[in-house]
Amino acid sequence: MKTKEPTRLQLAFGCNLKALAIYRITVALVLLAELSLRYRFLHAFYSDEGTLPLTLLRPKIDTLYKFVSIHTLSDCMPFQIVLLTIQIIIAIALLVGYKSNVAAFLSWWMYFSLTLRNTWLAFILDRYFHYLLFYAIWLPIGHFWSIECLPLGKTMPKNTTVMNIATFALKLQIFWIYIDAGVGKLLDEKAGWSYFADPLPALDTYTRHTLVAQYMYGMLGPPGLRLLTPIVVWVEILAAPLCLVGSFMRIEKLQKIAVFAICSLHIGIAFTIRNTALLSFIAMTAWCVYLPPGTFNEKEMFSEQKNITQGKLKALRQLICVGAFIAGSIWFELFSDDCSQSVDHIWSNLLHNRWNVFVGAEEYVTWEIAPGKLVDGSVVDVWSKGESISWDMPVTGAPSTSSSRGGRWRSFPYLAELDGEDGEALWGYLCQEWNAEHDNSQKKLVRYNFFMLQADVLPNMQFSATRKRLIKSYECSNKTFSEEIENDQEKDL
């Protein structure tokens, strides 16, 4: 077999097979974790009794939307449970490397379908899965540490470097993610990510969410956090360019430093900001494709094996699909109209490619409570499902913006503008949920008020006095409660 050392261009925009295997495994592991967590949200957000039944969604979406999203075929719980279980099985296939590219395609399609079922819940985490799974379809991700390598007599390929349109596009995608995020912070009108931020730099406001963050605040202090704030921005901006330069110049140490710096950044985010662990893990996974050949202590070679390089037809298909995806993303950001960007069409979720999150310092922390009155006259917190009401800032190791309900519930308070049938389904769900969990008719929920509470972030880990804002007052249906009370009284007689 003829081999030759890869060119500088191939090193810069290609990927070695072991790095792609790590990419496959880590994406699959984080995907399994995310899908497993979805079971607890199925009833609330995907069922016919939930906050967005299909009777409300279907009239708003077009035929293409319905065709792409199989999750809109039915909203009965058994159907949604089966679909989610199938997704987990496919993710396991991706993890072990069974029909890796097919598993990647099915995982991408079903995750996209799940996102379309309820776009209220779409976060930047979902965007990461969307892009990383799409590019995995076109990459040779199954040539190492996979079932595909198990058949006896099959030649194990060397840890070769491959370059195609997918490796080129994926590396540029990661480049764009961090340029978009870093430049967004750099150009923040309030200069929250600069050393001279006034009154507080961004890190001083964000590192208050967890116990680890509190210790970090104590060790670094306000001066240290002020100094570290602009460093974070430049790590985001320079990491991908340094990796590309290091690859092109064959300076592996430069690549390792850049990957280590960006991974350290995400580990810090995972430990200091609540509800960011999975986002941090999937973000680090993307950087597998920038791992240098020397990571595996093997001489990197560019292979001309037929089972690794692309045939002309396969290469053409890849060029068309990946090229259309890239062109579509550019069209969506620069030329699409408001109609195309509506959540009622698939384009907003398929082609949205902006990553400028955490822009600016956090000016205040927020949390929610929902005091509710029961039939027996007692008052409870419907949101936290607690028997007592507390207007104080929640403290679990450190002050935080954490809600009593994490995960996908974080989107709930920001849907307050929904009205009509949409609002009725959304807010009525809290009544339904409470009453389903309390059989005693005297403990049924009559009404509740949903408040968003805020406290300004002040220097030296201090916060202002709490202020509250009423988001929604909701009256639960009382007919059923009255009937139940009368029935109980008749039984007593």
Predicted confidence at residue 386, as pLDDT, reads: 84
Average pLDDT over residues 224-237: 96
205 has a pLDDT exceeding 70: yes
pLDDT digits (tens, 9 = 90+) for 370-418: 999 999 999 999 998 888 888 888 765 444 455 678 888 888 888 888 8
Whole-number Cα distances in Å, 151 to 97, 98, 296, 327: 13, 12, 24, 39
118 has a pLDDT exceeding 90: yes
d(CA 75, CA 71): 7
Average pLDDT over residues 19-24: 95
22 has a pLDDT exceeding 60: yes
Q: CB neighbours of 311 closer than 8 A, spacing ≥ 6? A: none
Paired tokens of 259: 């990957």
d(CA 37, CA 45): 13
299 has a pLDDT exceeding 50: no
d(CA 306, CA 316): 16
Predicted confidence at residue 193, as pLDDT, reads: 96
CB atoms within 10 A of CB 384: 18
SS3 372: strand
Q: CB neighbours of 115 closer than 8 A, spacing ≥ 6? A: 121, 122, 126, 130, 349
Cβ–Cβ < 8 Å for 240, 175: yes
d(CA 229, CA 249): 30
Paired tokens of 99: 């029909």
Average pLDDT over residues 427-455: 92
Name the percent of the chain lying above pLDDT 90.
62
Cβ–Cβ < 8 Å for 247, 255: yes
E runs forming strands in 17-79:
none
Nearest to 410 by CA among 129, 123, 130, 113: 123
Cβ–Cβ < 8 Å for 205, 363: yes
pLDDT digits (tens, 9 = 90+) for 458-488: 998 889 999 999 999 999 975 444 444 444 4
10 has a pLDDT exceeding 60: yes
Amino acid at 32: L
Using pLDDT thresholds of 50, 70 and 90, give the confidence band for residue 151. low
187 has a pLDDT exceeding 90: yes
Predicted confidence at residue 270, as pLDDT, reads: 93
Q: Positive or negative CA dihedral for 256, 261, 266, 267?
A: positive
Average pLDDT over residues 5-21: 89
Using pLDDT thresholds of 50, 70 and 90, give the confidence band for residue 335. confident
Cβ–Cβ < 8 Å for 291, 22: yes
Average pLDDT over residues 272-291: 92
Long-range contacts of 304-312 (CB under 8 A, 24+ apart): 304/1, 304/2, 304/3, 304/4, 305/1, 305/157, 305/160, 307/157, 308/17, 308/140, 308/143, 308/157, 308/160, 308/162, 309/162, 310/164
Mean of pLDDT over the chain:
87
Question: How many residues are recorded in the chain?
Answer: 493
Predicted confidence at residue 478, as pLDDT, reads: 56
Using pLDDT thresholds of 50, 70 and 90, give the confidence band for residue 344. confident
Cα 369 to chain centroid, rounded: 25
d(CA 96, CA 147): 6
Predicted confidence at residue 157, as pLDDT, reads: 60
d(CA 331, CA 335): 5
Name the percent of the chain lying above pLDDT 70.
89
227 has a pLDDT exceeding 90: yes
pLDDT digits (tens, 9 = 90+) for 137-147: 999 999 888 99
Evaluate the omega torsion of the peptide bond into residue 199 and state whether it is cis, within 30 degrees of 0.
yes
Q: Positive or negative CA dihedral for 177, 256, 303, 308?
A: negative
Nearest to 170 by CA among 283, 286, 281: 286
SS3 170: helix
E runs forming strands in 54-196:
160-162
Domain map of the chain by residue range?
3-350, 364-492
Predicted confidence at residue 406, as pLDDT, reads: 81
Q: Which residues pair with 367 in a beta bridge?
A: 453
Q: Positive or negative CA dihedral for 195, 198, 199, 200?
A: negative
Q: Give the end-to-end CA distance of the chain in Å, rounded to a whole number.
A: 92
